[in-house]
Amino acid sequence: MSAVSIWSAWGSPVRNCNPYRVQIYLLKAPHQIVGCSISDDENYSTPITLHRKPHNSRERNSKVNIGRLVGALLPVFFVLVLGYIAGRRHAFNGEQAAGLSKLALGFALPAALFVNMTDIPRNLLLEQVPLVIALFLAHVGLFVVALVLLGLIPSLKGRPSVILALMLSSSAAPVFGISVLRPLLGDTSAGTVSLVALSIDFVIPIAIVFLEMHNPERAAARGQSSPIAIGIKGGLKSPLLWAPVLGILSVLAGVHIPSEVASSLAMIGSATSGVAVFTVGLILASHTFRLSKIVLLGTLGRITIQTNVLFALLQLMHISGQFARESLVCASFPMATVVVLFAAKYKTLEEEAASILLLSTISLLVTVPVTLAIGG
């Protein structure tokens, strides 16, 4: 009997890898297999390494099958429309919608991000340091540059420039990332979403600082905390910030997460995609759609600017691979739902933010296949 070597996305070893186990593996995770080779080694007790195929492999970089693309996006839009209908029929009030959002972004998603980060091999995670730098530049750097440029426009000075800069520099990757990318590109997408979410959660505290600086209610109140303190406190309180960080530290320190703990977190984490996308539908239903120049330009900017910035950084820094490709797709995702929440809280561009969220969400039908094609 012949032994089998498999090329997968991870590059981790598998023991006792005989052809029968390979058949099961192919059935369970066909999207992770790049290729395989057969040898005459019958010593199955020896570890057989899963090799990662070169980045320019035709199999790995072929265009995504239309059927798989539809299969990945159709459930997302189904749940989104379901949430929208529920919102229009007032099946959920504002407090209930806020509760669902808190469940998805405060509990389920952080648990999923932590577990997924701990699943990434240490050597593979260390290889992503250049990508992490590129992601920070494409998020934090883009926010700062956009804030300065938009602040030069008289009609956008103050809070409008902060809301728009946040819209350009933060995507809904934490909401849509796993549900869209995992069916298309495999389990590595969960690790990518964790890295992107980490970058986004460094942008949000900075945005809170500037929003508070331009908040007339804060200026009128005495004895209130400084905007910088409010921003730092808001960032540190976010589980979306410290959950991926804890996952990364666990991997780097070689800390083994017991299977019982991982499975417990995975159970609550499995609720992420459905609840988060459903909540987006509720948010869209609670706002009036308004088509205007700022909505059209904002939508176009959301789905193109950050994608092009990250693409340029990846080229300049010579970063390639599956994680880079998935990060590029995440950059083209719709506007982050937190922008709508901030717009409502600070009473700035409320209808425009909700309208941009709707149009940029619909644009998933175009941005995902186009970005996948660009990323190779």
- 3-class SS at 307? helix
Of 195, 141, 198, 203, nearest to 170 (Cα)? 203
Of 86, 78, 73, nearest to 282 (Cα)? 86
- My answer on whether 170 and 240 are in the same domain is yes
User: Strand 33-39 to strand 13-14: parallel, antiparallel, or no bridges (unpaired)?
Assistant: unpaired
- My answer on whether 209 and 274 are in the same domain is yes
What is the predicted pLDDT for the residue at 20? 34
CB 9 within 8 A of CB 30: no
- My answer on whether 176 and 298 are in the same domain is yes
- My answer on whether 139 and 45 are in the same domain is no
Residue 54 maps to a domain:
no
- My answer on whether 22 and 131 are in the same domain is no
The full 3-state SS of 17-81, as one line of letters, equals CCHHHHHHHHHHCHHHEEEEEEECCCCCCCCEECECCCCCCHHHHCCCCHHHHHHHHHHHHHHHH
Helix (H) or strand (E) holding 7: strand 3-8
- My answer on whether 330 and 275 are in the same domain is yes
- My answer on whether 288 and 206 are in the same domain is yes
Residue 55 maps to a domain:
no
- My answer on whether 259 and 233 are in the same domain is yes
Helices 272-285 and 337-345, packing angle to 10 deg:
40
- My answer on whether 325 and 261 are in the same domain is yes
Residue 59 maps to a domain:
no
- My answer on whether 169 and 314 are in the same domain is yes
Helices 337-345 and 159-169, packing angle to 10 deg:
170
The one-letter amino acid at 279: T
The structure tokens listed for 117 are 């980060």
What is the predicted pLDDT for the residue at 187? 66
The total of structural domains in the chain comes to: 2
Q: Tell me how far apart the alpha carbons of residues 296 and 318 are, in angstroms, rounded to a whole number.
A: 33
Cα-based distances in Å from 249 to 71, 116, 117, 118, 201: 35, 13, 9, 9, 17
Residue 331 maps to a domain:
yes
Which CATH number does the domain housing residue 308 bear? 1.20.1530
CB atoms within 10 A of CB 224: 14
Residue 324 maps to a domain:
yes
User: 337 CB contacts (<8 Å, ≥6 apart)?
Assistant: 101, 172, 175, 279, 280, 283, 357
pLDDT per residue of the chain (376 residues) written in tens, 0 to 9: 444 444 444 444 443 344 433 433 333 344 444 444 444 444 433 444 444 444 444 444 444 466 777 777 888 889 889 999 999 999 988 788 878 878 877 888 788 778 877 877 778 778 888 999 999 999 999 999 999 999 999 989 889 999 999 999 999 887 777 777 777 767 667 778 878 887 887 888 788 888 878 776 654 554 556 666 766 676 667 776 778 778 888 888 888 888 888 888 888 888 877 887 888 888 888 888 888 999 999 999 999 999 999 999 999 999 988 889 889 999 999 998 888 878 877 888 888 988 998 899 889 888 888 888 886 6
Which residue range forms the structural domain that includes residue 45? Answer: 3-49
Residue 20 maps to a domain:
yes
- My answer on whether 18 and 165 are in the same domain is no
Region at 48 (left for phi over 0; alpha for psi -120 to 50; beta for the rest): beta
- My answer on whether 124 and 32 are in the same domain is no
